Amino acid sequence: MKIVEQKRHLNKYINSSKVVFLMAHKDLDLDALGSCIGLSIILKQKRKDCYIIIDDKTHELGVEKILNELEGCIPIIRSENIDKYLYPNNKKNLLIILDTNKQELVQNKEVLKKIDKKVVIDHHELGTTTIHDAFLINDPEVSSTCEIVTELTEIYDIELDPYYATLLLSGIVLDTNNFTLNTTAETYYTAYYLANLGASAKKVQYLLKQNIEEYTERQKLLTDIERVGKKCVFTKASAKTIYRKDDLAKVADTLLFFNNIEASFVIGKIDKNTIGVSARSLGNFDISKVLETLGGGGTDYQGAAQVENETLSKVEQELKKAILQEEGE
């Protein structure tokens, strides 16, 4: 894992800082939040002032459970209040971006302008909007950012409470779709390591439990599945329904469980003016290249895109065209 090779550089950034801010992508999932909390534990034991920036107003169910359980226990701030916590000498401030490397996906882009010293820790492919004025720790071969942060806890010999070990494990389980995607021997070792620290598989399943109404709504997306080319399937939501991005992702995950499907694409409205695209692959079809045509991207196994002020039909046409081009048809 690349984090081992870059430990010395990361140490330099952390040790030269007085205050460290952690920020992940919008619409936090268990990998984003788990990695932020895991890294905050490392920084606390290294005696650094640390704050997690969260601007999301609504949360997916697992994230909401964690935030409720840890209310008052972890230092969370909103980006609008960051000036209160900045160290007077800006050189002593550090911003660490986790689980994304794209500037448009972070909780708040304005924060990127406030802090000069930045580090990105992520497992997604780099792209044209990658935050390039940061020290990049990026490994697309790793299952999740929680796997990278777990490796850091082992490298730094950090004592992890079983609860926090469980949060890191939940991020890994989420991003690997229960160890069915993007899973290597290192991923299994990381899960074993966290289990030895007391991570609870039962608690992970509790965090991954779904809302039955949301589940029922997602099932509607499985009633009109269309094959595109020889390897891919596609489904489109009703223009009248607003979905969460993680709902679209879960449908894309489900579609991979069917025979003779290498990749899945799901599109639907995620707000009044924005269409979300979620894609999953078994690793044999380049979904990131397809998503780049819509301004998105991802890894060999998962990806997403967002298109503003466009119709579902137009996005559908562009997506199908890109899929067929990638298949060479």
Residue 7: its pLDDT value, please? 84
Residue 177: its pLDDT value, please? 85
Query: Which residue(s) pair with 106 in the sheet?
Result: 25
What whole-number distance in Å separates Cα of residue 130 and Cα of residue 133? 9
Residue 120: its pLDDT value, please? 97
Residue 189: its pLDDT value, please? 97
Q: Domains in the chain, start-ordered, CATH in brackets? A: 2-208 (3.90.1640.10), 212-327 (3.10.310.30)
**Stretches in the chain below the pLDDT threshold 50:** none
- pTM to 2 decimal places: 0.83
With residues binned 3-state (H G I as helix, E B as strand, rest as coil), the percentages for the chain, rounded to 5, are: 45, 20, 35
Instruction: Phi first, then psi: give them for residue 183, nearest 5 degrees.
Output: -110, 125
What DSSP letter does each residue of 109-169 carry, written as one string?
THHHHH-S-EEEEE-SPP-TTB-TTSEEEE-TTSS-HHHHHHHHHHHTT----HHHHHHHH
Query: Which residue(s) pair with 77 in the sheet?
Result: 53
Q: Are 56 and 28 in contact (CB under 8 A)?
A: yes
Residue 2 CB burial class (10 angstroms; 0-12, 13-18, ≥19):
middle
Distances in whole angstroms, Cα of residue 146 to Cα of each of 29, 33, 39, 104, 195 = 11, 9, 9, 21, 14
